Amino acid sequence: MDETEGPRIKALLSATIRLHMLTLVRQHIAWYLMNGCVSDQAAASLDDEFDQAVKDYVPFMNTAVSGLGLFETSNRVGPIARDYVAFNS
């Protein structure tokens, strides 16, 4: 199995799609509400859903950036961006 297969990649893609779709719905929530596509209750919980999707995406960030084919360089990002827990300890 290469690095483009497996459960971790499936989880990355699922998290990416979910975050992207929630972003699109948030951007156009007025249209969805006016056309009855989203209930008032769902719209009220949309920000919480989005915040949770961002938190769920965090473990995949380094994999996603690596998947873009960018070179790993120490000066591209600060050390805190890679592992803030270790940086703060």
Whether 1 is in a domain gets the answer no
The answer to whether residue 2 sits within a structural domain is no
Say what the pLDDT of residue 64 is: 83
Q: What is the pLDDT of residue 9?
A: 84
CA–CA distances in Å: residue 41 to residues 10, 34, 36, 37, 38: 30, 14, 12, 12, 8
Q: What is the pLDDT of residue 71?
A: 64
Q: Is the pTM of this model over 0.95?
A: no
Number of domains comprising the chain: 1
pLDDT given at position 20: 97
* Beta strand residue intervals within the chain, DSSP E: none
Domain assignment present for residue 60? The answer is yes
pLDDT, tens digit (0-9, with 9 covering 90-100), for 61-84: 878 877 777 666 665 566 666 666
47 is a domain residue: yes
Look at residue 79 and tell me if it is in a domain.
Answer: yes
What domain range includes position 16? 7-88
27: Cβ contacts below 8 Å, ≥ 6 apart: none
Residue 24 falls inside a structural domain = yes
In this prediction, the residues of the chain whose per-residue pLDDT falls under 50 are 1
